[in-house]
Amino acid sequence: MKHHKQFETSVIHDGYESADMLGSLAAPLFQTSTFTFETAEEGERRFAGEEEGYMYSRLGNPTVTVLEEKMAALEKGERALGFASGMAAVSAILVALTKANDHIVCSSGLYGCTFGLLSMMNEKYNISHDFSTMETKDELRELIRPETACVYVETPINPTMKLIDLQMVAEVAHEHDIPVVVDNTFASPYLQRPLELSCDVVIHSATKYIGGHGDVIAGVAVGKKDFLDDVQMTTQKDIGGIMSPLDAWLLIRGLKTLPIRVDRHCDNAEKIDVKLRSHPKVSRVIYPNDANHPDYHIRQKQMKRGGGIISFEIKGTKKDAQKLLNNLGFVKIAVSLGDAETLIQHPATMTHAVVPESSRLEMGITDQLIRLSVGLEAWDDIWGDLEQALDRL
C-alpha cells in the first residue's frame, strides 16, 4: 500500500510534479487567457469533453489546477474549485444548491456578506432562511422543511467564536438528504476538516489563512467530484467568479507554510488569551481553546487547536472600543485575518455594519466586542502593544 502523505508533506508536494514542467521546482505561473489548439478537430474534441486539455482560462488554468488539487488533498475532498474571492465561492455554491422558493438553515452568526447574500436571495428569489444555534439535534430538526435545500454552517463563527458540532449537524441533515456546507475559513484545513466529519461541501476565503500574507483575495470550494463538476459548468463558468492564475500562484506559495504558520498563530493566541483574561478593562474573552469556552468540548472533538482569532469585550462604550483601536502601535486596524501582521477590528461598525442592529445583537455582536487576528510577531510584543492600549482606556 502506498504510504499516505501527512498534512505537512501534502501541502508542499500534492498537486504538482516538477518533472512535468521542465523540472521547475516552483509551479509555473500560466498567465494566459487562452490556449491554442493544433487543429480545429482538437478544439472540437476539447469542447466536446472527449479530450482532456485546457481551452480558455475561465474554464480552467494549469496554475489554478495545482492550487485546486492541493486544496482537495488537504480537505480530503474529491475535487476543489478556485474562485475570485471567498464570496464568489459562497455565492456559486449557494446559487448552485437552490432554486426559487427554497429554504436554507444557517448557523446563527455568519460572515457579514454571507448574511447580505442570503437577504438578497430572499428578496429576489424568495429563498428564505432560518438561523439556528445548532446546539441540539432537535433544535436543528425543527427548522428543516420539505423546501430546505441545504444547511449552511460557520464554525468557529465569525466573530463570536461559537462552535458547532459538525458531525451532529451532518447526521440530522442527512436524515433528510440535505447537504451541509461549511465555511472553514477560520479554522483552515490544518485544524478542522469538515468533509471527514461527514459534511458535504467546504468553502474557504483563501484570502485568510490559506494565503496567509495579506496579498490575495480568493476563494475555494471543496467537495464531491460530481457536485463540483456541476458547479464548474454552471455557477462558476457562467457567473464567472474564477480565480486568477497569479492569485493561485501566490496561494500555492503561501500554502506551503500553512501548518507552521497556523501552529504559531495558535501558540501566540493561547498566550494572549490568558493575558487578556487577567486585564481589568476586559470583561469577556472568547477563545475556543480556553477551558472556560462553553464549546470547549466541541473544540476538543473536531479541531486540532483553537486557532488564531480571539474576540473580547471591553468595559465601556463603543467610543472606548474605538479608543482602544486608536491607542495601538504596530497592531494594525484592519478587517481580514490570518495574516502575518496582528490585525484588530470592531465588528459592529466594520465587518458586521451591514447587519441590522437587532440581528447583530442576537448574534452577540455588541458595541464592546473586538476581534483580534493574532499574527506571527513575538507574542510578548503583541501583548505589550495591547496592554498599553488597554491601560490607557
| For ligand PLP, the closer CB: 87 or 363 | 87
DSSP class per residue in 310-338: EEEEESS-HHHHHHHHHH-SSSEE-S--S
What residues are paired with 344 via a beta bridge? Answer: 333, 372
List 14, 68, 102, 154, residue binding ligand PLP (CB under 6 A)? 154
Q: Please count the other Cβ atoms lying within 10 Å of the Cβ belonging to residue 26.
A: 12
Task: Confirm if 248 and 360 have CB atoms less than 8 A apart.
Answer: no
User: In terms of Cα–Cα distance, which of 263, 370, 253 is closest to 322?
Assistant: 370
Radius of gyration over every alpha carbon of the chain, rounded to an integer in angstroms:
21
Q: In the block, which residue shows the cell 486539455?
A: 53
| CB closest to ligand PLP, residue no | 86
List 68, 73, 77, 111, residue binding ligand PLP (CB under 6 A)? 111
List 60, 82, 86, 288, residue binding ligand PLP (CB under 6 A)? 86
Supply the minimum distance, in Å, between the C-beta of residue 354 and ligand PLP.
Answer: 13
Q: Determine the distance from the C-alpha atom of residue 169 to the mean position of all C-alpha atoms in its chain, rounded to a whole number.
A: 18
| For ligand PLP, the closer CB: 185 or 188 | 185
Residues 293-352 that bind ligand PLP (CB under 6 A): none
Residues binding ligand PLP: number (CB under 6 A): 15
Supply the minimum distance, in Å, between the C-beta of residue 207 and ligand PLP.
Answer: 4
Q: What values do phi and psi take at 81, rounded to 5? A: -130, 140
Supply the minimum distance, in Å, between the C-beta of residue 1 and ligand PLP.
Answer: 37
Q: What values do phi and psi take at 353, rounded to 5? A: -65, -25
Q: Please count the other Cβ atoms lying within 10 Å of the Cβ belonging to residue 234.
A: 13
List 188, 207, 302, 342, residue binding ligand PLP (CB under 6 A)? 207
| For ligand PLP, the closer CB: 110 or 282 | 110
Q: In the block, which residue shows the cell 507574542?
A: 379
Which segment (141-149, 203-211, 291-299, 304-312) binds ligand PLP by CB under 6 A? 203-211
Supply the minimum distance, in Å, between the C-beta of residue 112 and ligand PLP.
Answer: 9
Which segment (79-87, 92-100, 131-139, 294-302) binds ligand PLP by CB under 6 A? 79-87
Residues 246-265 that bind ligand PLP (CB under 6 A): none
Which segment (66-74, 80-88, 100-108, 268-276) binds ligand PLP by CB under 6 A? 80-88
Task: Output the nine-digit C-alpha cell for 197.
Answer: 466529519
Q: Which residues, 6+ apart, have CB-to-CB distance to 265 below 8 Å?
A: 209, 307, 308, 338, 374, 375, 376
The Cα–Cα gap between 112 and 80 comes to 24
List 63, 85, 302, 373, residue binding ligand PLP (CB under 6 A)? 85
Which segment (202-210, 257-265, 266-274, 362-370) binds ligand PLP by CB under 6 A? 202-210
Supply the minimum distance, in Å, between the C-beta of residue 262 and ligand PLP.
Answer: 15
CA dihedral 156, 160, 162, 167 (to 10 degrees): -40
Supply the minimum distance, in Å, between the C-beta of residue 109 and ligand PLP.
Answer: 10
Quick one: 76 exposed, middle or buried, by C-beta within 10 A (0-12, 13-18, 19+)?
Answer: middle
> What track of x and - describes contact with ligand PLP for positions 282 through 301 (by CB under 6 A)?
--------------------
Residues 166-195 that bind ligand PLP (CB under 6 A): 183, 185-186
User: In terms of Cα–Cα distance, which of 179, 186, 185 is closest to 203?
Assistant: 185
Supply the minimum distance, in Å, between the C-beta of residue 100 and ligand PLP.
Answer: 24
The yes or no reply on residue 208 touching ligand PLP (CB under 6 A) is yes
The Cα–Cα gap between 40 and 366 comes to 62
Which segment (62-70, 170-178, 200-208, 269-277) binds ligand PLP by CB under 6 A? 200-208
Torsion 167-169-172-177 (CA) sign: negative
The Cα–Cα gap between 55 and 59 comes to 7
List 72, 97, 127, 217, residue binding ligand PLP (CB under 6 A)? 217
Write out the residues near ligand PLP by the rule CB under 6 A.
85-87, 111, 113, 154, 158, 183, 185-186, 205, 207-208, 217, 219
